A = this chain, B = another copy of it.
Amino acid sequence: MSLNLSGVFPPIPTSFDADGKLLLDKMKSNIEKWNTTPIHGYVVLGSNGEYVMLNEAEKCEVWETARAAIPREKLFFAGAGAESTQATRALVQHAARIGADAVMIVTPHYYKPQMNSAALVNHFRVIADASTLPVLIYNIPAYAGIDMDAATIIQLAEHPNIVGVKDSSGNVNKFAEVIRAVRPDFAVLAGSGGYFYPALCVGAVGVVAALANVAPRACVEIFEAFHAGNHARAKELQLEFIALNAAVTSRWSVPGLKAALDLLDDYYGGPPRLPLRALGDEERKALRKIMQDAGVL
């Protein structure tokens, strides 16, 4: 039985207090609220989950909290990538033990000049061979500083346990190139809410978007309008949420996402861990205005 990777998957933030301590209750409470929305699942410990800020024990705690709160009918992707292949394997085992549905594995990227196509293919194959969970490739050039090209993705798509790619390059041309070449059930997921609808148009099946945390219903509406053939509505929503999407991604990143949650009723955002810094008052004011314009406040 294969997973259905179609849909809208918020990469949820990890909740910290002012001292940077994990607030698992807040995460639980956030998830319970997102559960009332029609989103199709969660990514736990992606970039928006500040996975690079947590140690292994904290990662397990976060995943356990998420597992307890996420109902079985929603997909649970565990962000389990690390710089070394063996650390990634260990995290993937933890994720399996905890009961995640799939793992999302970021491209290793510290030794950039060495991370050529052959090195990346080898890394992902080793992981996919060893993993009992399906593997989703995670490509995020803005943070990783490397961009997995279409040929490498297409090569990796031959592995039966590599089920898709979450690509935050924004390169819709590349999405199309991949989709044209891979097996039909290999899933391309847009990596941001800024190009969700056009990505669907060329064959992407879903989105992992910070925006889906703050506007889950709008994201799902884009998805459903598209599938209903209502392109006019999908386009309209896509354009309406461009500014808010930018606010919680390129403009203010994780701190922007957390501030947006704080501005919403009933969600906890809180501070990011340093060196990320919480938004200042002026930025919060500008963000509030953007949220009002988008109709989420």
Contacts and interface: CB of A to CB of B under 8 A. Distances in A.
Contact of A111 (B126, B229, B245, B276): B276
B275 A123 contact: yes
A194 B179 CA distance: 13
Interface string A166-201: 000011110011011000000000001011011101
Contact of A235 (B142, B201, B229, B240): B201
Contacts of A195: 172-173, 176, 198
A113 B86 contact: no
Interface centre among A85, A142, A180, A195 (most CB of B within 10 A): A195
What band does the interface of chain A fall in when counting residues whose beta carbon is under 8 Å from B?
A: 35 or more
A120 B254 CA distance: 17
A111 B254 contact: yes
Contact of A112 (B142, B192, B203): B142
A144 B42 CA distance: 29
Interface of A: 20, 47, 50, 52-56, 83-87, 108-115, 118-120, 122-123, 126, 142-143, 145, 170-173, 176-177, 179-180, 192, 194-195, 197-199, 201-203, 229, 231, 234-235, 238-240, 242-243, 245-246, 250, 253-255, 273-277
A118 B255 CA distance: 15
Contacts of A253: 111, 113-114
Secondary structure call for the A interface: helix
A120 B231 CA distance: 35
Contact of A239 (B56, B179, B235, B245): B179
A274 B199 contact: no
Nearest to A180: B239
A53 B83 contact: yes
Contact of A176 (B20, B115, B239): B239
Contacts of A235: 201-203
Contact of A201 (B87, B126, B198): B198
A55 B53 contact: no
A276 B239 contact: no
24 contacts: A20-B84, A52-B83, A53-B84, A53-B86, A55-B55, A55-B87, A109-B145, A110-B143, A111-B276, A112-B145, A114-B255, A115-B275, A170-B172, A172-B195, A173-B194, A176-B194, A176-B195, A176-B242, A177-B243, A195-B198, A197-B201, A198-B198, A202-B238, A231-B231
